[in-house]
Amino acid sequence: MDLRIYSEYGAIQQVLMHRPGNEIDRLTPYNKNLLLFEDVPYLEEMQKEHDYFCQLIRQACGAEVLLFQELLMELLLDKDILLRVMRDSLSSSGMTHLAEELIATLSTYECANALVAGIKVHEAKRKNPKIQFGELMDLAYLIPPTPNLYFQRDTAAVTPAGLVFSRMKMEGRQREANMVRSIFEEHPRFKGKTKKVFPLDGHDNPASLEGGDIIILSEKAVAVGHSERTDEKAIYHLAKRLIAEGTIERVYEVELPKKRNFMHLDTVFTILDENLVLTYPEALNAVAKLSVYRHKNGEGEQMNIKRSVLNDSLLQILKDEIPHLQTIQYGRENTDNALREQWFDGANVFTIAPRKVISYNRNKHTNRALRDIGVEVLEIPSSELCRGLGGPRCMTMPISRKKT
């Protein structure tokens, strides 16, 4: 069967995550902005927090947590795939011609570590002094690190219509999406089970689209954030493919401010149950424009869609799509608390079953508001995980949920 997910709240059965590793220790006060980080985390504590998170998912609902690094290792046992992935990863330094020499020098484990944590010229020289690196300095990266990889939600999304593979806005993150795509398309666990929705075949340089901007409203409707990371053109192509597949009837484009704290749509709201949504008033009010794509005429390759600009608010759209909607709009009484907790992704909880969520322990006021209306809140430590500015939903990519 094709991988498909029909809601944001069905009990989680299988989820893909990445345990932070040596790539985090590549961050310094001087390169953190270049590597799209706000701060320099403490790796060992970060790993403890992530391990607690993974174990909580397993214990709370019996879900299978698949770890990216383990799947990557298994995938790289295929030497043809290893060579292709290594060449792709060396392209940023212009050293693709060294792929075979590096593979002959490094073990499969070391190759997997190099692909995620990066490898510098002097590190490769230590392994094999005979390799020639041209004019590259010893401290230059042959393969750059991927410290944002623990935000697995960014790299892909499983929808009611199939799999969306992200085209990352920041070129330095595209390797993350490429490796995740390779796992879904070529790992024995998933090979033959993926129906690709995006990007379109033949589009060598598609517009950017990231998984955190995709939220399933229902089996018939999807919302996509037009954010600083997802382009309008990509939303059009995605909408056309989703609607053409026949499952989705409406794709909403939600235009967000191009600001760091509104990076993706899932920083604005998350769905906790069939009629329950968590958001912040400031986030709802920040939506600049709403549009909807629907089927116009034709079918197959000749199918056309039409886009209509909406005068309704995002809250009204959610009410239209989610019958008997109840919203938790935390922060009406205390805007300081709301602003602080929104910065640390208070609305970005991970729903593991209807009205059962995992949230950062630091967002105590939001968590209290959730409990007050009967939501079961499981808290995870967050002093280090939050430093990349992403929440529990950002760190998880659901592969399978129970259909409700």
How confident is residue 285, by pLDDT bands cut at 50, 70 and 90? confident
Give buried/exposed letters for 379-398 (b at 16+ CB in 10 A, else e). Answer: bbbbebbbbbbbbbbbbbbb
Percent of the chain, pLDDT > 70? 97
pLDDT in tens, 114-172: 999 999 999 999 999 999 988 899 999 999 999 999 999 999 999 999 999 999 998 88
Structure tokens at 65: 């947590």
List, as one string, the DSSP characters of 131-191.
Answer: ---TT--TTSEEE---GGGG-GGGTEEEETTEEEE-B-SSGGGHHHHHHHHHHHHHSTTTT
Query: For residues 382, 383, 388 and 392, what is the CA-based torsion angle, rounded to 10 degrees?
Result: 0
pLDDT value of position 135:
86
pLDDT value of position 202:
65
What does the longest C-alpha to C-alpha distance in the chain come to? 68
pLDDT value of position 343:
72
How many Cα atoms within 13 Å fall on the side-chain side of residue 292? Answer: 19
Whether the per-residue pLDDT at 302 is higher than 70: the answer is no
**pLDDT, mean of residues 40-66:** 97
pLDDT value of position 150:
97
- Helix, coil or strand: residue 102: helix
Mean pLDDT score of the chain: 92
- Report the Cα 241 to chain-centroid distance in Å: 20
The class that CATH gives domain 12-43+147-165+193-401 is: alpha beta
Reference 356, options 151, 67, 59; nearest CA is 59
How confident is residue 300, by pLDDT bands cut at 50, 70 and 90? low
Q: Which residues contact 269 (CB under 8 A, 6 or more apart)?
A: 215, 277, 278, 279, 283, 284, 314, 318, 347
Q: Which residues contact 235 (CB under 8 A, 6 or more apart)?
A: 209, 224, 226, 251, 253, 293
> Which active-site residues does the annotation give?
394
Do 23 and 146 meet the contact criterion of CB atoms below 8 Å apart? yes
Q: Which residues contact 200 (CB under 8 A, 6 or more apart)?
A: 206, 237, 241
Residue 246 backbone class (left: φ over 0; alpha: ψ -120 to 50; beta: rest): left
User: pTM for the whole thing?
Assistant: 0.94
- Helix, coil or strand: residue 130: coil
pLDDT in tens, 372-404: 999 999 999 999 999 888 999 999 999 999 987
pLDDT value of position 204:
67
**pLDDT, mean of residues 161-187:** 94
pLDDT in tens, 7-34: 999 999 999 999 999 999 999 999 998 8
Do 328 and 370 meet the contact criterion of CB atoms below 8 Å apart? yes
How many Cα atoms within 13 Å fall on the side-chain side of residue 289? Answer: 9
Reference 285, options 331, 323, 325; nearest CA is 331
Neighbours of 258 (CB within 10 A): 12
pLDDT in tens, 340-374: 877 778 889 999 999 999 999 999 999 999 999 99
Whether the per-residue pLDDT at 203 is higher than 70: the answer is no
Structure tokens at 20: 């932070």
The angle formed by the CA atoms of residues 362, 148 and 400, to the nearest 5 degrees, is: 80
Choose the weakest-confidence range: 42-56, 66-80, 243-257. 243-257
* pLDDT, greater one: 92 or 206: 92
Handedness of CA 73, 76, 82, 85 (dihedral sign): negative
Rounded CA separation 162/4 (Å): 5
Sequence ranges of the domains in the chain: 12-43+147-165+193-401
